[in-house]
Each structure stands twice: as structure tokens, then as C-alpha cells.
Chains A and B, each alone.
Chain A
């Protein structure tokens, strides 16, 4: 996983958040009865912007909420959605829990793993895709289910998973747009 660069078009490790984002972070801290209440939403916003949560982001959140950067880190490390190093452009999470398992999620995982040439838990050499098995996504009635940056793809079989990857492999623009587009195309 190490050695990956930030996603194309996304700010590097030393970049400072733009002014509107800084204002948004302040507003999030002010929204809760304690400033710390805003922490999870602040971390989400920073991760959306940078693609991951850098040490500087944790220091900034610490300053904004009045806690130490170490304490921010202890929060970040608790939650599976937060990344503390640059991730793939398209991080694929595939549900391995019971309803999807019964409907063949393991076959989808194997097909994706072969197609991408990376094991579950790994990332492709070009940093475009990562593959991760995740727990129940709350889509049990339309499994197997996979998720890319919280966009859901349902009733996925090996063929459909392949088409999703093909659509994303061709895209150069904004990652979120590409995922929305692939979701529509795969429907």
C-alpha cells in the first residue's frame, strides 16, 4: 500500500485547504454543543478534499477542536472509513458478510482480484484501484453489493463487476463523477 501518490488532481501532502473549506471546518466545529462534536464531519470533509487524512489535517482538526493531534489520531484510527495514507483513485469495497456471501460475493471478489491483478487488501500498481473486503453495507436484499467511495453498486456478479472496472479504467476526469457515471452505466 505504501509509496502511492495522491490521486491525480488531488492536493499533495503539504497542500493547505482552500479558504472556503477552512470556513466550512470552522462552521462544523461551531455546529455542535462542543467543538469536538464536529470532528468526524471535519475529517470526512478533509478526506474528500485531499483523498486521505494527512498529519497536517489532524493537527488542524486538533487546533480547531481544542484537543491534541495525538488524540485526533486515536479517533481517526478507530474508524475504518478514514485513510491515513493516500489511497487508490477508485477504492473498491466488496461486502463479504452473510447475505452477500450466500449470493456468491466470493466469486465476485475472485473475479475482481484476477482482473485487477491485486489481492483483496491491495492496490493496483498504477494506484487506480484498490480492492478491500468490507462488512455488511446495508444492501443485503440486493447482494452481492460493492461500494466505491460510498456509492453503491448492487446485484453485482462477475460480469457486472468487470464492466464497472472497465468504465472506471477509461475515465480521466473527476473521480466522483466517474463513479456516478459507472453506477448509472452498470444499472
Chain B
């Protein structure tokens, strides 16, 4: 099936407006804004079955339909370009190579949701993405595609690029909204949900970059075309990331529902230097580890849920045999310990404790009692917390305990008398 998202990814810098228009960018937005009604656009996206590519896979059209139809004051679209999930590097490609694709999607989405302003929250380190985006926005304002009279329709569509400042938790959508407002990036208790009380207290929809990049194509080519790719429950193509120990790491576009094996072998050339695989991560750090015996799992959100994991961002990481599983797990447990925002005790303490316990096993100093402690932490992670971050750190830990229990058992040493110490949260 033909690719559509990644056609410009081989270039070295961003495609500028003149060339982008030659490739058809902005033609669909113009037609949509001039000839369609907002509800029709929402219906198209709903019927296409487009699901959010940020990790939660929530249906985009349904999310859009929560926005007020007769707004009394501003509504906002916020693009999540915080891309911080380890193993994920796809949104950057869209912004750095094809920024007008994202902007065209934004114009259509703003129209559909009756939002006049879109904020693009770009992670602080992505300076190249920010510059490419700001250049593209300026080009569009100059050409009258964005601004007070966007595409000559008399409608206002403003896009503002915002820059984060380093904090994984800001990818969580309500933390992102706080950060956008100039606050600490701490998640908000829900309800109220963003569609009611979002950015600056106004109705807001947060969507991932890749989600919005699909929108112009759906409106251009139609629902049957979109549904002809991917799976019944999750149509369309996805930008698979493959990194770690593979021959050809990179971003590869393919339909949802490919097997992890095909993505790793057909796209990325298989495990590096013909080595053996110890484990693979199916969709970013929080989706945990699967053994090579699970390589035929289907890259589909519902199928991976049945395997006890998640599709996440579709960023596959291959762990070679020479890397011990406990060492790989420790890298992630340290990451989650560092990145919890610290507001909720089960999360703050659970992330810190599990990191220390994994560290003990890593040093060959685990104890039989530690399994009970880890199970306690896993249970604690299902308690009520402000956001779902505990699910993220429970992913690697829980999957390791299920699929690689032997690695723990081999590393039980003389009982360690020292109890784990509490968390160090952000300052």
C-alpha cells in the first residue's frame, strides 16, 4: 500500500512553501475551509476511524466532537510535539522535513473544532523542529494561508509555536497545558477534561503531531481509502520507529497491523550483525519488554493490549543478547524515577522503590522478599493517581517479571538489610 506520511523524510531540511504547494500541500485545507461545514469534517475523521498516535489511541473524531459547537469565547487546539517517550523519534521527522503537512492539518482541525488559535508545544531540545515550524508559519502568514483571513475565508487561524524546557511528564496532556500556561508541568486532576477546561481555562483539544498529519489525506482521499489500510479497529498507516540493535534503524511508514517481526526484519534489516535478540520493546519505553518468542504480535493497539502491553508510540527498540535484561530494565526504571512529577505518593514512591529494587537484582543482591515488594508496587500503581504515569513505569517492570522472571531469580543474593529509601522528586 502506498505511503503518504513519510514521502519527504529523505530530504535534508524542511520543504518550503513553494515546493510544498507544488506537492499539493494546502489544496485540501483550502477546499475544506471553503466548501465544507465543521460537522462534516468531524464526521469524516470519525468515520475514517483515525485514532490518536500519541500513545493512548483515542479516536480523534470523537475527541473533536466534545468541543463546543457554539463557543462563547475562544477554543484552542494544542499540538503535542513534546515527543519524549524513549524509543520515539517520528514527530520530529514531520516537523523538520514536512512542516506544511502539519500546518495544513492544523488549519483543517481548527476549522472543524471552531478554534481560532493553535499552540504547538515543541519539546525544548527540538530546536531544529521549532525553527522549521516557525519558518513555515511565517511563510503561511505572508501568503495569507494563516492569519486573520486564513485562505481568504474570513476565518482566523493563528498558529503559535511554544517551546518546552525539558521534562518528560509535560507530554501528558494536562501537564502540557500547565506548561503552556507558564506553570510547573504537573498533570491536572480530571475532570474537568480539557474539552471543558483546557488551555487558559478554555475548551481545548490536544492531539499528537502524527495524528494531525493524517488529517489532510483523509479529507483529500476519503474514508474508504483510509480504511483500506491498517486494521479494522485501527485504520491507516503509522510511522514505526526502529532503534537499538538493528541493521538499519530509522522511521518506517507502514500499515497498522504489521507483525513486529516484519517491521524489524523487512524494514530495519533484522538484528544488527546477525546477533540474537534478547528482547524487544514494542512501542516506546512504557510498553515494556517482550521476548523474541512474541515477535509475531501484531502492531495494533487492541492486539497488543491482549498481550498485556500497549502499542504506545510504535517505537520498537531491539535489545541484543549481549545486553542483560536487568541492565536494560534499570535504564528505564531510573528514567521513570527521574521523571515522575512527585504529586502522588504511589507514583513517586513506587517509581523510586522499584528502581532501587531493580538495582539490587542488577547487582546480584536481590532477595526472595523483593518479589512481594515489587508486586505491592505494581498493585499500588493501579491506585487512583492524578495521571497514568504509574502505568508507564509499571510497563517495563511488570513485563520483565512476567517474561524474564528467571533473570531476577538468578540474581538473588545474600539478603540485603537496607530498606529502599524514598523518592527524590523534581525540585
CB of A173, distance to nearest CB on chain B (Å): 20
Asked if A78 contacts B182 (CB within 8 A), the reply is: no
Interface readout for A104-133 with B: 1 if CB under 8 Å, 0 if not?
000000000000000000000000000000
Asked if B125 contacts A81 (CB within 8 A), the reply is: yes
Residues in chain A near residue B261, CB distance under 8 A: none
A40-B179 in contact given A99-B244, A137-B125, A141-B249 (Cβ < 8 Å): yes
Residues in chain B near residue A140, CB distance under 8 A: 86-89, 241, 243-244, 249, 315, 317
Asked if A37 contacts B180 (CB within 8 A), the reply is: yes
Asked if A151 contacts B127 (CB within 8 A), the reply is: yes
A98 to B241, CA, bound (A): 14
A84 to B331, CA, bound (A): 27
Which of the segments B226-234, B332-340, B385-393, B412-420 contacts the partner chain?
B332-340
Asked if B165 contacts A44 (CB within 8 A), the reply is: yes
A36 to B177, CA, bound (A): 12
Which of the segments B40-48, B54-62, B99-107, B318-326 contacts the partner chain?
B318-326
Instruction: Indicate which residue in B164, B200, B242, B250 contacts A40 across the interface (CB closer than 8 Å).
Output: B164
Asked if A97 contacts B86 (CB within 8 A), the reply is: yes
Which of the segments A3-11, A13-21, A142-150, A156-164 contacts the partner chain?
A142-150
Instruction: Enumerate B217-259 residues with CB–CB distance to A below 8 Å.
Output: 241-245, 249-251
Asked if B426 contacts A78 (CB within 8 A), the reply is: yes
Asked if B338 contacts A36 (CB within 8 A), the reply is: no
Asked if A40 contacts B182 (CB within 8 A), the reply is: yes
Asked if A147 contacts B125 (CB within 8 A), the reply is: yes
Interface size on A, residues (CB 8 A): 41
Asked if A96 contacts B331 (CB within 8 A), the reply is: yes
Asked if B165 contacts A135 (CB within 8 A), the reply is: no
Asked if A78 contacts B200 (CB within 8 A), the reply is: no
A97-B285 in contact given A135-B339, A138-B84 (Cβ < 8 Å): yes
CB of A46, distance to nearest CB on chain B (Å): 12
Q: In this assembly, does A34 line the interface, its C-beta being within 8 Å of a C-beta of chain B?
A: yes
A65 to B179, CA, bound (A): 14
Residues in chain B near residue A143, CB distance under 8 A: 243, 249
A147 to B125, CA, bound (A): 8
A80 to B105, CA, bound (A): 31
A141 to B179, CA, bound (A): 28
A139 to B181, CA, bound (A): 28
Asked if B163 contacts A41 (CB within 8 A), the reply is: yes
Residues in chain A near residue B339, CB distance under 8 A: 135
A65-B182 in contact given A34-B200, A135-B338 (Cβ < 8 Å): yes
A84 to B248, CA, bound (A): 40
Instruction: Indicate which residue in B87, B199, B251, B320 contacts A98 across the interface (CB closer than 8 Å).
Output: B87
Asked if B184 contacts A102 (CB within 8 A), the reply is: no
CB of B333, distance to nearest CB on chain A (Å): 11
Interface readout for A37-52 with B: 1 if CB under 8 Å, 0 if not?
1111101100000000
Residues in chain A near residue B281, CB distance under 8 A: 98
A132 to B363, CA, bound (A): 24
Residues in chain B near residue A44, CB distance under 8 A: 124, 163, 165
CB of A161, distance to nearest CB on chain B (Å): 18
Asked if A79 contacts B88 (CB within 8 A), the reply is: no
A138-B125 in contact given A40-B162, A75-B184, A78-B427 (Cβ < 8 Å): yes
Q: Closest residue to A95 on the B side, CB-wise?
A: B86
Residues in chain A near residue B166, CB distance under 8 A: 79-82
Instruction: Enumerate B111-170 residues with CB–CB distance to A below 8 Å.
Output: 123-128, 160, 162-168
Q: In this assembly, does B83 line the interface, its C-beta being within 8 Å of a C-beta of chain A?
A: yes
Q: In this assembly, does A136 line the interface, its C-beta being within 8 Å of a C-beta of chain B?
A: yes
Residues in chain A near residue B426, CB distance under 8 A: 77-78
CB of A164, distance to nearest CB on chain B (Å): 17
Q: Closest residue to A139 on the B side, CB-wise?
A: B89
**Most central of A37, A142, A143 by chain B CB within 10 Å:** A37
Asked if A36 contacts B184 (CB within 8 A), the reply is: no
A78 to B183, CA, bound (A): 9
Residues in chain B near residue A152, CB distance under 8 A: 128
A135 to B167, CA, bound (A): 10
Q: In this assembly, does B348 line the interface, its C-beta being within 8 Å of a C-beta of chain A?
A: no
CB of A124, distance to nearest CB on chain B (Å): 22
Q: Closest residue to A96 on the B side, CB-wise?
A: B331
Asked if B245 contacts A102 (CB within 8 A), the reply is: yes
Q: Chain B: residues with CB nearer than 8 A to chain A? A: 74, 83-89, 92, 123-128, 160, 162-168, 179-186, 199-200, 202, 241-245, 249-251, 281, 285, 315, 317-320, 323, 327-328, 331-332, 335, 338-339, 426-427
11 interchain pairs (CB within 8 A)?
A36-B182, A37-B182, A80-B165, A81-B166, A97-B331, A98-B332, A101-B331, A102-B245, A139-B89, A140-B243, A141-B89
Q: A37-B181, A40-B162, A138-B88 are in contact. List 7 more A-B contacts (CB 8 A).
A: A43-B165, A78-B185, A78-B427, A81-B125, A98-B281, A138-B125, A140-B241
Q: Which are the 8 A-B pairs with shortest beta-carbon distances?
A: A39-B182, A79-B165, A80-B166, A81-B166, A140-B243, A136-B86, A99-B243, A36-B182
